[in-house]
Chain A
Amino acid sequence: MNADHLELSNVRVSFDGFAAVDGVSMTVLQGDLRFLIGPNGAGKTTLVDAITGLVPATGSAKFGRTELIGKKVHTIARLGIGRTFQTASVFEELTVLQNLDIAAGARRGPLTLLHRRTSVPAEVEETLETVGLSDLRDQQAGALAHGQKQWLEIGMLLVQNSRVLLLDEPVAGMSAEERAQTGELLRRVGAQRTVVVVEHDMDFMRSFATSVTVLHAGKVLSEGTVAQVQADPKVQEVYLGRTATEKALAAVAADRKPGEVGG
């Protein structure tokens, strides 16, 4: 088996006795573009929080052979687990280049921090190309369009050399065109990495997911390919069955404004 994979077994997170994540087990392999879906409150974002060390959890989350649970946030990040957030969180006062440079720098020695940046590091140059922001490198990140901010965030994970990308609703609030571009970007970068996407957008999921895990009330409800999951009666009942037809659901997802959606 490939060493680069994310393996969760029996992960639990509880807030004051309420089990937000209730014994989740799943395995994501390198090259997989795994979508994590589920109704609001299913525990999707909390699961990502648990893997990245933001909330205390029990159980086991292994990247290769390394246990992640119990480690500090910045240690986990250095091990190659990167994540984005529902609202793009780039450093608005700094330029695109500075954002990427900072992301690339966590492995640098403390003394190199005292120098000025004299040239653009190769991996930063490459990533600017990959995420399509080469022409905007000296732009302040705060002035970027919403979609561009999300791409910059993904770019920051790439220069950080993250092996696992955990993306929390990367296409929320994006135009159809931006969604398609984001999907292509994820396919490109996902081949060499392990990617988990938390998403509400069903069209986006159908277009780009290679596998899907459905969470409901903190538990894994169903797992498989898009077709398998859609055919699963349990999923239809708790998720798709809620709104009368799938079409209506897609329409709701498309209309949703960013920020309203919660994990």
Chain B
Amino acid sequence: MTALASRLKGNQGVLLGFVLGALALLVVAPAMLSDFRLSLFGRFICYAIVAVGIGLAWGRGGMLILGQGVFFGLGGYVMAMHLKLADAGPSGVPDFMRLYGSGQLPIWWEPFRSPVLTLLGVVLIPSLVAFGLGAAIFRRRVRGAYFAILSQALAAAFAILLIGQVATIGGFNGLNGFRSFFGYNLFDPVNKRMLFYIAAVTLLVLLLIVWQLYRSRYGELLVAVRDQEERVRFLGYDPASIKLVAYVLAAAMAGIAGALFVPIVGIISPANVGVVASITFLIGVAIGGRATLFGPVLGALAVAGAQTTLSESFPSFWSYFQGALFVLVVAFLPGGLSSLGLLLRSQRVGVRTGHIEPPSPAQRVDVGRPPPPEPLSGVRSRSEAGR
């Protein structure tokens, strides 16, 4: 009974969070912010959507993803290709191709003329790529720092690939100069506001889905895999498939975020998908609290907001501040800012009862941390490096 009561209470807290979040995003922000600021906030929400996925895969699944820019970019470029084609008109060719290329449309652009295929592609292409990569990576039991390095290398390779393709995908400049979004004029402030609402609702819906997932048996299993992967294997599960689901979901979310980013910001370029962008995605999650539901979102919004405010006043100061904040959080608040309340509460209890609880394993941050030295003394971790 007490368990049920506390569960209900926990649910109430989350539901209250959702209501407050919805109010803030859908009522307060549009009323308070100028069109320019609102569009800026829309961009932050795209980062927050990526953060929700990273929270799932890293916070709950223990996969330190340093290359989420790849999936963000896949979703973003798919959307950008469609917008370019739509602007060029039926059987038209995007402007940059006539400038730098032969003026011929590559065959693989054709499917993205269709709005339906584009929307499917935004979700499915990142998912399928993540499925293929993830299946290969997790089967070979690559994890910890090796997984992180691998994912980061992928982001670097993807950015370099894009930069090389000037004639077909815009190269270093990326794709930009979009005029309309599924028939709606992108210069019209009303439509810009609508884009903000779409992004905000998408964020809330994805958060609801992830919340449901955290409470499901799958959510418990994912935590079990994070903490004791070998043990889960001996229960008859294949940890590779469990991790794969979280990885693919995170990739799909990044793809959706990329697709929303394109019309809101008006450009997607290799700079948005490379190593630096990928790490920026992660920092918000770490600062906010990766294993919690709202932590990654709040962290991503806070970091993006701080970046804008600070770099407006001190243009060269931001990266130092970002680095310092990251170091401080990792060193003194490994569970992120959302563990602050928990920490204070446990210390208050600790003062009363005379002892302070050590932080639980979930509150430890494993930035590039290899898996626990030897989770099971009988298990020889085979091929930590994936052989």
A interface residues, Cβ below 8 angstroms from B: 45, 48-49, 52, 54-55, 72-74, 77-78, 82-83, 85-87, 89-94, 98, 101-103, 105-108, 112-117, 138, 142, 156, 160, 168, 259, 263
Contact = CB atoms under 8 A, between A and B. Distances in A.
A156 B377 CA distance: 18
A45 B221 contact: no
A91 B231 CA distance: 9
A86 B216 contact: no
Interface in B334-375: 360-362, 375
B376 A85 contact: yes
A89 B2 CA distance: 27
A101 B378 contact: no
B236 interface: yes
B376 A102 contact: no
Contacts of B380: 49, 54-55
Contact of B235 (A45, A49, A156): A156
B3 interface: yes
B237 A74 contact: yes
B147 to A, nearest CB: 20
Nearest to A105: B217
Contact of A93 (B2, B217, B223): B223
B176 interface: no
Contacts of B216: 113-116
Contact of B236 (A55, A77, A93, A263): A77
18 contacts: A45-B378, A49-B378, A49-B380, A87-B376, A87-B377, A89-B230, A89-B231, A92-B227, A93-B360, A101-B217, A106-B236, A106-B237, A113-B217, A113-B218, A113-B221, A114-B213, A114-B217, A115-B216
Given A85-B378, A89-B375, A94 B223 contact: yes
Interface centre among A82, A91, A114 (most CB of B within 10 A): A91
Contacts of B98: none
Contact of A91 (B228, B236, B377): B228
Contacts of A45: 378
Q: How large is the interface on B (under 10, 10 to 19, 20 to 34, 35 or more residues)?
A: 20 to 34
Contacts, number: 103
A43 B54 CA distance: 42
Contacts of B215: 116
- In the complex, the 8 A-B pairs of residues with the closest C-beta atoms, listed nearest first: A106-B236, A77-B236, A78-B236, A113-B218, A85-B376, A85-B378, A91-B224, A86-B377
Contacts of B361: 92-93, 142
A201 B379 CA distance: 22
A98 B220 contact: yes
Contact of A48 (B213, B232, B378): B378
Nearest to A54: B379
A94 B234 CA distance: 17
A89 B228 contact: yes
Interface centre among B212, B220, B224, B234 (most CB of A within 10 A): B234
B157 to A, nearest CB: 31
A85 B377 contact: yes
A102 B220 CA distance: 8
A102 B217 contact: yes
Contacts of A86: 376-378
Nearest to A98: B220
A93 B227 contact: yes
Contacts of A106: 235-237
B238 interface: yes
Contacts of A85: 231, 376-379
Interface string B189-233: 000000000000000000000001101111011011001101111
Contacts of A92: 227, 360-361
B208 to A, nearest CB: 14
B219 to A, nearest CB: 9
A89 B227 CA distance: 10
Nearest to A140: B360
A108 B224 CA distance: 16
B233 A105 contact: no
Contacts of A263: 378
Interface in B227-252: 227-228, 230-238
Given A93-B223, A259-B377, A142 B360 contact: yes
Interface string B303-331: 00000000000000000000000000000
A138 B361 CA distance: 18
Nearest to A82: B234
B365 to A, nearest CB: 15
A77 B375 CA distance: 19
A160 B234 CA distance: 10
A91 B223 CA distance: 8
A263 B380 CA distance: 13
Nearest to B378: A85
Nearest to A138: B3
Given A73-B234, A74-B238, A113-B217, A102 B378 contact: no
Contact of B217 (A54, A90, A117): A117
B245 to A, nearest CB: 9
A114 B242 CA distance: 12
A77 B3 contact: no
Interface centre among B216, B217, B230 (most CB of A within 10 A): B217
